[in-house]
Amino acid sequence: MSKKIKQGAPQVTPYSVAIGLIMTVLFSAAAAYLGLKVGQVFEAAIPIAILAVGISGALGRKDALGENVIIQSIGACSGVIVAGAIFTLPAIYILGLDVSFWHMFLSSLLGGVLGILFLIPFRKYFVKEMDGQYPFPEATATTQVLVNGEGGGKGARTLAVAGLLGGLYDFAIATFGAWGETISTTFLGFGHAIADKAKVVLKLNTGAAVLGLGYIIGFQYSLIICIGSLLVWLLIIPGFNLLFGGQVLDFMGSGITQTVSEMSADEIFRTYARHIGIGGIATAGIIGIIKNAGVIKSAVGLAGKEFSKKGGPAQKAEETDRDITMKTVVTGIVITLLAVFAFFAFGGVVDTVWQALVGLLIVAVISFLFTTVAANAIAIVGSNPVSGMTIMTLIITALVLVAVGLKGNAGMVAAMVIGGVVCTALSMAGGFITDLKIGYNLGTTPAKQESWKFLGTLVAAATVGGVMLVLNKTYGFTGEGALVAPQANAMAAVIQPMMNGGSAPWLLYGIGAVIAILLTVFKVPALAFCLGMFIPLDLNLPLLVGGAISWYVSTRSKDKAVNDARQEKGTLIASGFIAGGALMGVVSAILKFAGVDWFLKGWNTVAEGHLASGAEAIAIIPFVLLIVYMTRASIKR
């Protein structure tokens, strides 16, 4: 990574801005579909960087490294804006309420802008002052792609092949139902009996995109996530059935009438077990803030020194260390917060000006404090625990809004929109620190990245709002065949009882809090573990398979350079699976929205007297072939 952008080489050009915005639209649509389908939003930095390199090479552009950084930085708005929107706003649909395009657009736009502005004062601390002390895994990988890409477009070809394969694979599942999307132990007779009596069931999603996600997450963290999930599905859910089977447990006052034994394993998960994971995530977020108190103080101190400088050419920063001025940042924060207040007060979010002020205070305080948590998580493990932090925000928001008289349906919509602004701000803060680290590695001008990030945010917010409207009309978020949207379902489960006279399941949250504290004491990443506890098992097991492939291909040789090369090639293939699978998923959704139905219902429907369809019976075969391809192609030099 010793290569730097040549002095005077172009960075912001009509070409780099235009390609960056095209990437923003494409990957916003793809990430929105994938996130609502499986609950994981892929980080777009690596695939966009590879495509940028391939396009510049195909067009014969010279000294394109600076332009490619800008393309990546603008395009990466897609994943972070998507995460902020889909983790919260679909919950409004799930609750049976309605949300307009403008609510989704303004929530995403204002949250994204706030995240950019809150992060800029922390850039020098995380990117420069702590250089070499944080691994920045995604920024490191993306930098390697951009640098290596200057020598040719081989990486782009590898990505294209994998993208085509992964896209066609997931298209065959989503559009035709050629084989089952999920494999379950209920496929077997004794597995069905165990699920019915003991509430023990295992499930595996067979999609290419989810497998690719697991590879990039890596074996260590995918294992931790999966263990959290297995704790729920093999111990907590059967334990609830064993201990309280004949009882009706209604922790939230939501009118439950079924006994625990009358529920399926999935119903026990949604009603009880998932709340334990929510409590764990919220507690892990608080622990993160406490741990990062020093980071906040240090970063604010650096920003304060710059803001207090009196003009003068002697103190002018180098081009590679020049941010947007602090006066501009502070002015921008004030204007954005005023816009947030106007949105809440006059955009149909809350009923009174007082409630709008309360919402504004929640957004400002929580977004600022949790910015460091998001940046720190990205810097260390490359994963932003934004969903857990948002759940805590929703709990606080619900308590405060009820206290100021906003309840019921109006309170639920208000809480979700406020939560959406905070979630997007935190998602943007975490993702943007990666872009700035890439720029620091390669010698770009931070102010240029910061300035054009706002345009990318605007385009991503508009795209995500439109895609969510299409997906809601096509699939919906409730009922048979609905999009999973696990985070949004978790948010809805938190808000609904609190806004309708009930209460939150504090006992379950408390159990989760104890688990998070114990995990922290024993130095186990609590956020990753607790995330696994509330995402469905079928979406976690393939992450472990992908992580295991990553470990396997990177440990077969005694030569570290060979292992690293294989690991990097596997990352390109995994990125192709993710991008191709997600993009073709959007195509499939558009076809369905247009009334085109090619789904093989007879083949993919369980016949009377059978435990599984023909499609599920053969699903393991293409999944194993996909694993074999990914493994062999990664090892092959």
**How many angstroms separate the CA atoms of 533 and 516, rounded?**
11
* Digit-coded pLDDT (tens) for 32-48: 877 777 655 656 777 78
Closest CA to 614 of 628, 624, 602, 626: 602
Q: What is the pLDDT of residues 83-139, one digit of tens each?
A: 888 878 888 888 777 778 888 899 999 999 999 999 988 888 888 877 766 667 677
Cα 73 → chain centroid: 17
Domain assignment of residue 401, yes or no:
yes
427 domain-assigned: yes
Among candidate residues 86, 25, 67, the one with its CA nearest the CA of residue 424: 86
579-622 tens-digit pLDDT: 788 778 767 877 776 778 888 888 888 766 666 778 888 999 99
In-domain check, residue 361: yes
Torsion-angle region of 339 (φ positive above 0: left; ψ -120 to 50: alpha; else: beta): alpha
**pLDDT tens track for 156-190:** 678 778 889 998 999 999 899 999 989 999 887 78
pLDDT at residue 419, rounded to an integer: 85
Q: Which of 143-147, 270-274, 297-301, 473-477 has the highest mean pLDDT?
A: 270-274
User: Quick one: what percent of the chain has pLDDT higher than 70?
Assistant: 88
At 344-357, the pLDDT tens digits run: 988 888 888 888 89
Kindly state whether residue 184 falls inside one of the protein's structural domains.
Answer: yes
The Cα 306–Cα 308 span in angstroms is: 5
Q: Is the pLDDT of residue 502 over 70?
A: no
Q: What is the pLDDT of residues 198-212, one digit of tens each?
A: 999 999 999 998 898
Other beta carbons less than 10 A from residue 129's beta carbon: 12
Looking at the predicted structure, is the pLDDT value of residue 511 above 90? yes
Domain tally, the chain = 1
pTM value is 0.77
Confidence of residue 312 (pLDDT cuts 50, 70, 90): very low
Residue 312 lies in a domain: no
Residue 98 placed within a domain:
yes
For residues 584-599, one letter each, b for 16 or more C-beta atoms within 10 angstroms of the residue's C-beta and e for the rest, the string is: bbbbbbbbbeeeeeeb
Residue 1 domain flag = no
The answer to whether residue 488 is domain-embedded is yes
Parent domain of 605: 14-307+320-635
